[in-house]
A and B are shown apart, each in its own frame.
Chain A
Amino acid sequence: MIEVLLISGGAPPAALVADTVAKLTAAGGRVRYAGSVPDGYLERDLAGADLAETHKLPRSNPRRAARLPFGERVWIRSRKDQWLLERAARAHVIAALDDGGVYTVWQLAQRNRTAKAVNGFAPAIDAVRELAAHGGPPEPGPFRAPASLVARDFGRAAKDLPAAAVRLASSRRVMNNRLGAKLWRLPLRIPGVPEGLRIAIGKRVAEAMVWARRHADAEYVLAQTASKTSDPETKAQLLDEAVKLAADRGVNPKYVDPAVAARLVLADRDLAAGNLVGAASHLKRAFLWGFHRVIHIDQLSTKLSTDTAGFIKPFHDSQVMRQFATPRGRRLPAAPPPTGRPVRLLVMTSANDNFLGHILGRYRNHPDVEVRYLDLATHSSLKRIAWSDTQMILNRLGHDDGYAALAEDLLRPYLDWADTVFLDWCVGPAAMLTTVDPGDTRIVVRLHSYEAFTRWPLLVDFSRIDDLVFVADHVRDLAKTLVPQLRGPLAPRMPMVHNAMELAGFAREKTADARFNLGLVGVSQVAKDPLWALEVLRLLRAEDERYRLLVVGGDMNPNLNKATRKYFREYEKELEPLVGSGAVLRLGPTDDVAGKLTDVGFILSSSVREGCHVGLMEGAASGAVPVVRDWPFYAGKAHSARTLYPEGWVVATPEEAARRVLAVNTTEESWRDAAKLANEYALSTWDWSVVSADFDELLLGKRP
């Protein structure tokens, strides 16, 4: 029997492990697996693999290992693991299944000198087959590290002694003690401490506090140290660390504003010195912190919507941004639609084609249009440059590193072919596209909603776009506040065109008890705020226990970040008893939303922000009565849910929502009347049979 030990630093694809183990076993191997994997992976994911033994390697880092490359960390925390050492000592083949496992295999192979040590699934199979073909494996020799390795490790340990001493004085136990932690803050505040020493202490104390899991204190220490640091570079680095500490954990960072300001100062400094590479790098960092998704996307409120102008002002006040945002325009205006031949329409996106189906379907079958479709994600080179923000910034600042030429070469054949380009989603690909002068090709870009909460619209040169299409007026307002180019003389036209939706098929007969069923379609993001819907349900059930909530769609991913996890846990906690009592039905993801909506009498929009809420519109078309939360990100502004939807659909609070439901549902007849009105409004306003004329006008320049 050939003893095989597989090692990984993370959780490898379980199906691949199972398949490999089957092949190894067939070749004469007995296979064991050790991985630095999350809880449950061995029992749940690897249950189907025919492994002789499995073992979870330690995942907690000794403090001194925290900054080492991942592979070394895996080894340092596993090197005294008796299970691992014993199996490695008698293994004939030791294989790493990922990069994180390679160093551990390398170290074990220094101790077991006869084993084959290989990297990868297939090489492991080859190694076993080769041993089997050569009459079996040799007997392992003694298991010990060679003298050279021992001497080298000893040397390293001696070199690390001073740092180790400080670590001892700021150990987890000391830092977990409030007094200990406070004492360490003293040298950061008292005057007279030399700056270099203050910075060194600040970093070490922050490290210790992270070690003691006092992350908020660590952020404070870093920010405090930064505030007393005169060197702008060091100040920015300290603030970066403070923001990163929070953002990496999915927590809304406290020190974003000073971190952004520090980076913009450096960007302006480098710009003035003619160091465009430096300026671009700092500006990119400012964008990253300012528009981090944890701050805007996965929260129930953000300064970006409550004080949009105040949020964006520091960026536009900087010199680097002024230079960056200068519109470059185009040499030729877009040519009028051709006569005598079909319009050539290039539809572009990057992977997300969710809202393109009807558009492509219509124009592929349109006698006056020739359509081509380009998914940038399937074109390796375009995909590579479509999100290269550093190079885009450099290009806009006037530094030529070949990016614009590459974009030009890759895009020109498409621009030469097309009369009109329709690019869906105003993100990286839009910024890439506008590094190129489009010639006389007309450029149309659509901005849905979430893009406005990212840095991408700031990276787009809108002077090279003819039409920037919005799906709602309130998103247009937001974008115009954020991006000065959209208010300038070279701004594109900014029509509002509803999403392409085939709604007629949603109008189906409702089931008998539908009028007591609320429906919520789509709960996969924090912004959908389903807890608001649960509150509406709670209020209704206090009046009438027949009310239920049907939740359609996949859940949010709690592993996305801590903000999402925190929300999801709270939601699950609230949900559990309601599901148990039958008050909430979780219908999960489905391809047949129309079918599920036959059970829904009231359709809810509980979100904190939406562009246009497709699930709500489909619900209205189905004959469910809409109850729309006045989306807080836009409530009270010139345009909001109240201007997108008819009078009466929008409510301010769960209480008002409950009152609306109860009022409409006084009798079955009154509910049916309201449902009929909603259905008629939806079909006459948003159905593709109506909206397609707007698209014809947008893309072909004429109504049918």
Chain B
Amino acid sequence: MSAFSTGGAPRTDKAPEPDPDGQRPHLIYLAIGFPPAAKSSTYRMRETANQFAAQGWDVTVVNLEDDSWHLESGLDHTLSDKVDPRIEIVKLPLRREDVETDIRRYSEERAASPSTWLRALRARPQEQFPEAAFGDWRPALEEAVLRIHKDKPADLLLATCVPYVNLAAAWRLWEEASVPYAVDFRDGWSIDVVDGRVAFGPDTEEGRWEARILGSAVSLWVVNDPIAEHYRSRYPDFADRVHVVRNGYDADSTPGRAHKPDPASGLVFGYLGTISFSADHLGAVLEGWRRARRREPLLANARFEVRGHIGHGAARGATPQAQALQKAEADGVSYGGPVAKADVAATYAGWDAMVLILIGGRYVTSGKVYEYMATGLPIVSAHAVEHDASNVLQGHPLWTGAHGMGVESLADAFAAAAHLAVESTDAQHAEAMAHADQFTREAIMSKAVKRLIEQFEAEKGRTQ
């Protein structure tokens, strides 16, 4: 087992297989959000790169400088500890203008009216690439992949999106040096996963880019079946190259302990994840919690701990959601900031039930749902009924079900979870953990990378 595995499931750690000329194959991995960025997609990127390294590839990751992540998602250096040291990381000096907090970098126009300036920035036509906030990065990304390829020829490029501007760099390398590429769309581009509708048509600039890119890609990864179905039906000629690569969870993030709640000192409910849902969404959850606490004796002294990144740029830690959490302190709610990846398991170990707050519907699965399942704790669902997380949770013995965002339903779910926390047996707890076994990230990514390498080799064989 590799030292850089996330532990748990057996991994396919085959020895590197050099090319006939003795060189290990080389992957350029466009992974904007790679560690130490603390994005929700970072874990998937880390495991992808580690798997390529473990399966005999040299990997060069393209990411941003740490300062840029500090402004956006924040940093978690503990994430870097388990990056395979053989992986090269190129950090580009690109910054998102919209999340800049250094006022010395502001124009006078921006300083005078920050919100007007921001609206104008977002409405500005994207000349380089059709993607707000990131489109201007195209030249830098193209130049970076060409330079990396020149220094060390690449055999394959894998672009994970967002940002979608990565696709322009993949295309440039393909056009100029015929380096094949694959795409990890995760949530998809032409499907708006939150609203569950087509995001843009084929005759738009984005539509033309997507069709062009997918037309020559070795493979496309997405995180769930509904998104895969969208791509298979939109691009029937490409259907066999679309693969579902679920997010899964890292085995070292699970508490792996016997479940021992202590109602006398207060049950502890927890949420861990980026706080990206709306203030109204959070408001419904907090109101449900308040009502449940008032009527369910088991919850009278319970606490609800919320952890994770909240807001970015100037609004980091100061969003309406942060204020709502602060106001709910009297109801036993607390916000404790982000948790370093290394401390995730210990955080879960202190909780008795999980609160799964998710946006979107049938096209959204999230990564959290897998990690939450793996804790073996009761789960309260605070999301739409028709949600892909519901599909994943189906059969979980300690799940209170998805009943939508009605305050009363949420209150009922909190009360039910309190009973499950106290009354569930160790056997049920173990059964709940076992429900998650099929979703260890390492097992999922190992299989996905292996299949991609095989597709790449088959493609190479055909072209040779």
Instruction: Contacts A378-B278, A383-B278 given; indicate if A122 touches B385 (C-beta within 8 A).
Output: no
Contact between B115 and A375 (Cβ–Cβ < 8 Å)?
A: no
Interchain CB contact (< 8 A) of A123 among B116, B280, B316 = B316
User: Could you tell me the distance between the alpha carbons of A13 and B279 in the complex, rounded to whole angstroms?
Assistant: 15
Contact between A122 and B318 (Cβ–Cβ < 8 Å)?
A: yes
What's the minimum C-beta distance from B81 to chain A, rounded to whole angstroms?
A: 21
Contact between B323 and A13 (Cβ–Cβ < 8 Å)?
A: yes
Instruction: Contacts A118-B101, A119-B103, A410-B195 given; indicate if A375 touches B405 (C-beta within 8 A).
Output: yes
Instruction: Contacts A121-B318, A123-B316, A378-B278 given; indicate if A373 touches B323 (C-beta within 8 A).
Output: no
What's the minimum C-beta distance from A576 to chain B, rounded to whole angstroms?
A: 31
Chain A residue with Cβ nearest B287 = A353
- Which of B111, B197, B284 has most chain A Cβ within 10 Å? B111
User: Could you tell me the distance between the alpha carbons of A379 and B194 in the complex, rounded to whole angstroms?
Assistant: 9
Contact between A71 and B278 (Cβ–Cβ < 8 Å)?
A: no
B361 contacts chain A at the CB level, 8 A cutoff: yes
Q: Mark A151-194, 1 if CB is under 8 A from B, else 0.
A: 00000000000000000000000000000000000000000000
Contact between B317 and A99 (Cβ–Cβ < 8 Å)?
A: no
Instruction: Contacts A119-B101, A123-B316 given; indicate if A16 touches B406 (C-beta within 8 A).
Output: no
On chain A, the residues within 8 Å of B322 by CB distance are: 16
Contact between B278 and A373 (Cβ–Cβ < 8 Å)?
A: no
Instruction: Contacts A120-B315, A120-B318 given; indicate if A105 touches B112 (C-beta within 8 A).
Output: no
User: Could you tell me the distance between the alpha carbons of A648 and B169 in the complex, rounded to whole angstroms?
Assistant: 81
Q: Mark B322-360, 1 if CB is under 8 A from A, else 0.
A: 110011000000000000000000000000000000010
Q: Mark B189-221, 1 if CB is under 8 A from A, else 0.
A: 000001111100000000000000000000000
Contact between A378 and B323 (Cβ–Cβ < 8 Å)?
A: no
User: Could you tell me the distance between the alpha carbons of A70 and B316 in the complex, rounded to whole angstroms?
Assistant: 22
On chain B, the residues within 8 Å of A13 by CB distance are: 318, 323, 326
What's the minimum C-beta distance from A430 to chain B, rounded to whole angstroms?
A: 19
Interchain CB contact (< 8 A) of B103 among A96, A121, A357, A377 = A96
On chain A, the residues within 8 Å of B113 by CB distance are: 69-72, 99, 103
A409 contacts chain B at the CB level, 8 A cutoff: yes
Contact between A122 and B114 (Cβ–Cβ < 8 Å)?
A: no
User: Could you tell me the distance between the alpha carbons of A47 and B406 in the complex, rounded to whole angstroms?
Assistant: 38
How many of A's residues come within 8 Å of B, CB to CB? 45
Chain A residue with Cβ nearest B406 = A373
Contact between A378 and B281 (Cβ–Cβ < 8 Å)?
A: yes
Chain A residue with Cβ nearest B323 = A13
On chain A, the residues within 8 Å of B111 by CB distance are: 71, 102-103, 105-107
A560 contacts chain B at the CB level, 8 A cutoff: no
Contact between A378 and B284 (Cβ–Cβ < 8 Å)?
A: yes
What's the minimum C-beta distance from A346 to chain B, rounded to whole angstroms?
A: 10
Per the 8 Å Cβ criterion, residues 396-437 of A in contact with B are: 406, 409-410, 413
- Which of A96, A116, A375, A409 has most chain B Cβ within 10 Å? A375
What's the minimum C-beta distance from A148 to chain B, rounded to whole angstroms?
A: 11
A374 contacts chain B at the CB level, 8 A cutoff: yes
Instruction: Contacts A16-B323, A378-B281 given; indicate if A71 touches B196 (C-beta within 8 A).
Output: no
User: Could you tell me the distance between the alpha carbons of A413 and B226 in the complex, rounded to whole angstroms?
Assistant: 14
Chain A residue with Cβ nearest B384 = A379
Instruction: Contacts A109-B103, A117-B104 given; indicate if A19 touches B326 (C-beta within 8 A).
Output: yes
A244 contacts chain B at the CB level, 8 A cutoff: no
Q: Mark B94-133, 1 if CB is under 8 A from A, else 0.
A: 0000001111101010011111100000000000000000
Instruction: Contacts A117-B102, A373-B409, A378-B284 given; indicate if A71 touches B197 (C-beta within 8 A).
Output: no
Range of interface residues on chain B? 35 or more
Contact between B114 and A119 (Cβ–Cβ < 8 Å)?
A: yes
On chain B, the residues within 8 Å of A117 by CB distance are: 102-104
User: Could you tell me the distance between the alpha carbons of A69 and B120 in the complex, rounded to whole angstroms?
Assistant: 15
B308 contacts chain A at the CB level, 8 A cutoff: no
Contact between A378 and B318 (Cβ–Cβ < 8 Å)?
A: no
The number of inter-chain residue pairs (CB within 8 angstroms) is 131
B313 contacts chain A at the CB level, 8 A cutoff: yes
B404 contacts chain A at the CB level, 8 A cutoff: yes
Instruction: Contacts A69-B112, A102-B114, A123-B101 given; indicate if A380 touches B314 (C-beta within 8 A).
Output: no
B53 contacts chain A at the CB level, 8 A cutoff: no
What's the minimum C-beta distance from B322 to chain A, rounded to whole angstroms?
A: 7
Q: Mark A111-128, 1 if CB is under 8 A from B, else 0.
A: 000001111111100100
What's the minimum C-beta distance from B180 to chain A, rounded to whole angstroms?
A: 35
Instruction: Contacts A102-B103, A120-B316, A373-B405 given; indicate if A71 touches B280 (C-beta within 8 A).
Output: no
What's the minimum C-beta distance from B391 to chain A, rounded to whole angstroms?
A: 15
Contact between B316 and A122 (Cβ–Cβ < 8 Å)?
A: yes
User: Could you tell me the distance between the alpha carbons of A381 and B114 in the complex, rounded to whole angstroms?
Assistant: 24
B407 contacts chain A at the CB level, 8 A cutoff: yes
Contact between B116 and A119 (Cβ–Cβ < 8 Å)?
A: no
A663 contacts chain B at the CB level, 8 A cutoff: no
User: Could you tell me the distance between the alpha carbons of A377 and B278 in the complex, rounded to whole angstroms?
Assistant: 9
Q: Mark A347-377, 1 if CB is under 8 A from B, else 0.
A: 0000101000100110000000000111101
What's the minimum C-beta distance from B276 to chain A, rounded to whole angstroms?
A: 10
What's the minimum C-beta distance from A404 to chain B, rounded to whole angstroms?
A: 13
What's the minimum C-beta distance from A668 to chain B, rounded to whole angstroms?
A: 38
Contact between A373 and B404 (Cβ–Cβ < 8 Å)?
A: yes
A288 contacts chain B at the CB level, 8 A cutoff: no
On chain B, the residues within 8 Å of A361 by CB distance are: 408
A residues with a Cβ closer than 8 A to B are: 13, 15-16, 19, 68-72, 96, 99, 102-103, 105-107, 109, 116-123, 126, 351, 353, 357, 360-361, 372-375, 377-381, 383, 406, 409-410, 413
Can you offer 15 A-B residue contacts whose CB atoms are under 8 A?
A: A15-B326, A16-B322, A68-B112, A71-B114, A72-B112, A106-B108, A117-B103, A118-B102, A121-B316, A122-B318, A372-B404, A373-B405, A375-B280, A378-B283, A378-B284
Q: Given contacts A378-B405, A413-B386, list 8 more A-B pairs with CB under 8 A.
A: A72-B113, A96-B314, A116-B102, A121-B317, A353-B406, A378-B284, A383-B280, A410-B196
